[in-house]
Amino acid sequence: MRKFLIILMWLVTSISVLLLVTLPVNLQTQLIAGASVLFLMMVLKTLNAGGIWRLIALAFGTAIVMRYVYWRTTSTLPPVNQLENFVPGFLLYLAEIYSVMMLALSLFVVSMPLPHRTTRPATKGELPSVDVFIPTYNEDIELLANTMAAAKAMDYPADKLTVWILDDGGTLQKRNADKIVESHIAEKRFKDLSELCEALGVHYLTREKNVHAKAGNLNNGLEHSTGELIAVFDADHAPTRDFLLETVGYFDEDEKLFLVQTPHFFLNPDPLERNLRTFEEMPSENEMFYGIIQRGLDKWNAAFFCGSAAVLRREALNVTGGFSGISITEDCETAIALHSKGWNSVYLDKPLIAGLQPATFASFIGQRSRWAQGMMQILRFRFPLFNGGLTIPQRLCYLSSTLFWLFPFPRAIFLVAPLFYLFFGLEIFTASGGEFLAYTLIYMVVNLMMQNYLYGAFRWPWISELYEYVQTVHLLPAVVSVALNPRKPTFKVTAKDERIDRSRLSELSTPFFVIFLVLLVGVGVTIYRIYTEPYKADVTLVVGAWNLLNLVFAGCALGVVSERGDKRPSRRVKVSRRCEFRVGERWLQGTIDDVSVNGLRVQVLGDVAEAVSVGMLTDVRFKTFATGDLGDLPLQVRNVRKQAGETSVGCMFMPDQPSDHSLIADLIFANSAQWTKFQLDRRGNPGLFKGTIWFFGVAIFQTYRGFSYLFRHLTGRGKREWEGTL
């Protein structure tokens, strides 16, 4: 009853707001109202008001957005009888309506995300049995070794923990491939991996045929195992020691729980972060998703499975016959299937795995194409809105998650729309300069402020737009192709461990330069038009400014596709662990300062610079968290630096036996607290104003960098100096 009254009250107030904003008041009134609301939002923003004020500010924004939509719908569409204007005009309108609809859905999802869940450590007494699945296809064995070692090292009773390598790279089908080279590689992989598994105490499992890709592989694992719970890790996602203890407890509380999902935390930057050098200072792209969207989804019991770093209940999976494989995003699809059968999910907002993400722009695009295509398939085959098993909020949540991937369409339209006017004189948006100011500009600022309100600490201004733009160029064809041919896309494994040892232009960079140049011509046309056609300078200025904004994104994107050479592909994690460092026969006291997946840096007490030479093979000895035993890890010295009273030695791991990987995993993955700390360090909301200035600065520099890369690429000059610079 109370609930009903509360909903009724909400309905009454929203209908009142709706009625008010759809009044056809005049331009003056709109301008004053828009400006007042904007001002109030700014005040609330400046005061950093949270709680109920946050929702009030969002309601302000919603009112302005609705007014914009009302005006846009009723007064700005070109007349239907001018098809040359109407068709592009209507497309632009659809693109805007899409954006508004996505804003509405995200408001629903993240207006009041669940707060951080308090930890719920499992009681050690009656723990369920867990199968850990590590599906792999073609990942390096080295990489797998770390993951396996970390999985084995998880703090959990050994009799209840079984780790499985599900190898799709060594299937019978692969080993008997017609191409001799392929079959040879598969055979070797099968052999090496089996041996490694045996050494680490991990079960190796492969199958006859590579059917149904990852979902098929996981289902094969289900068939061969019996644990109550299934933990899934990607080949490069190494869990911390406390992963299981943090997660399995939730299954006790709720019998209908099928999933506990944890965030993906990446040790290396994605291409944008790497090339723009923002990895250390700005929150990562996926933090918006894992930091707030999943929490929002969790409020509506709609947190979904992200393919890795999650624990699932076998009983639930059996209901749907294992992992679903119609789409190439089996994870989300499985979650929909189980949610619609009344099972629940939980999202735990604490990074408990660390992994790698695609390093090059090309593989980044490959990964995103798979997500986009998979989500399109879900939209096509399991349209969430009409899925009767889901609750209404769940439907909206899934709609939000899947429709998001249509963004290439509006992005592309926003990109070309101003050019229609600048190049062809088409008027696809009928509004005067004044109306543009009173409606569109205020709407745009309000929209940005709402985004900042919603995601401020997780996503800086304009970064979403940049990410969308850089993906659009290549995702648009991918999404179109899946729309035309929904069953065609096949699962492609994303390569994540590539190294970019020298600076170069990405192989996908050409369209970005072309687009940039076209937009630049657009700027030229703008200036020309302002001077030659002064009678419509106001419209030209507005459209020109829009085009200029596109140019800024396009320029910034040039930096994204100009891949920096990076000597250290993965991030060094700060640790501080006592160790002993071997110099010749002596063991010297030292501290391990930082580690990465490839090596570590040790501070050795005393001046040993003479005794240590680059290329020297040595060992480091430390006590593991897992067992408390001492272990020796073989290293090769890469550099030596003298410091006051100490010597800093940089080394590369030289693992030669399986147990060495356990030591590496123990160093890197033992402690989840360090990742949380790293993430929190990057979080911070620069605010709309500062963020915008910062972004424009970055964009200008990146445009310059993009062109200097292009110049060198074309002339081939100064290659040596270039590498490793800029």
Q: How far is the CB of 316 from another protein (least distance, A)?
A: 19
Question: Which phi and psi (to 5°) does residue 582 adopt?
Answer: -90, 125
- Residue with smaller CB distance to another protein, 14 or 576: 14
Decide if 124 contacts 157 (C-beta within 8 A): yes
Token pair in block for residue 650: 């940089």
- Residue with smaller CB distance to another protein, 362 or 438: 438
Query: Given the DSSP bridges, would you call strands 229-232 and 130-136 parallel, antiparallel or unpaired?
Result: parallel
Q: For this structure, is 619 an active site residue? A: no
Buried b (16+ CB within 10 A) or exposed e, 373-405: bbbbbbbeebebeebeebeeebbbbbbbbbbbb
Q: How far is the CB of 116 from another protein (least distance, A)?
A: 8
Tokens 């999933």 belong to which residue? Answer: 259
Site residues for another protein per CB under 8 A: 2-3, 6-7, 9-10, 12-14, 16-17, 19-21, 23-29, 31-33, 36-37, 40, 51-53, 55-60, 62-63, 75, 79, 81-82, 111-112, 114-115, 117-118, 298-301, 393, 425, 433-434, 437-438, 533-536
Sheet holding 257-261, edge to edge: 203-206, 161-167, 130-136, 229-232, 310-313, 257-261, 344-347
Name the amino acid, one letter, at 228. Answer: E
Decide if 706 contacts 275 (C-beta within 8 A): no
- Residue with smaller CB distance to another protein, 128 or 249: 249
Question: Which phi and psi (to 5°) does residue 282 adopt?
Answer: -110, 140
- Residue with smaller CB distance to another protein, 16 or 576: 16
Q: How far is the CB of 91 from another protein (least distance, A)?
A: 20
d(CA 148, CA 139): 13
- Residue with smaller CB distance to another protein, 112 or 141: 112
Angle of helix 658-669 versus helix 180-200 axis, rounded to 10: 70
Q: For this structure, is 594 an active site residue? A: no
- Residue with smaller CB distance to another protein, 247 or 671: 247
- Residue with smaller CB distance to another protein, 32 or 673: 32
Q: How far is the CB of 126 from another protein (least distance, A)?
A: 24
Of 118, 119, 102, the C-alpha closest to 110 is 102
| DSSP tag of 121 | P
Angle at 240 between CA 270 and CA 649, to 5 degrees: 70
- Name 716's Cβ contacts closer than 8 Å, sequence gap at least 6: none
- Residue with smaller CB distance to another protein, 50 or 606: 50
Q: How far is the CB of 265 from another protein (least distance, A)?
A: 22
**Dihedral (CA of 105, 108, 112, 118) sign:** negative
Catalytic-role residue among 167, 331, 497, 666 = 331
Catalytic-role residue among 167, 168, 298, 497 = 168
Name the amino acid, one letter, at 155. Answer: D
Name the amino acid, one letter, at 243. Answer: F
Q: How far is the CB of 438 from another protein (least distance, A)?
A: 7
Q: How far is the CB of 130 from another protein (least distance, A)?
A: 25
Tokens 């846009």 belong to which residue? Answer: 72
Q: How far is the CB of 5 from another protein (least distance, A)?
A: 10
Q: Is 532 exposed, middle or buried (0-12, 13-18, 19+ CB in 10 A)?
A: exposed
Q: Which residues are registered as beta bridge partners of 670?
A: none
Catalytic positions, written as ranges: 168, 331
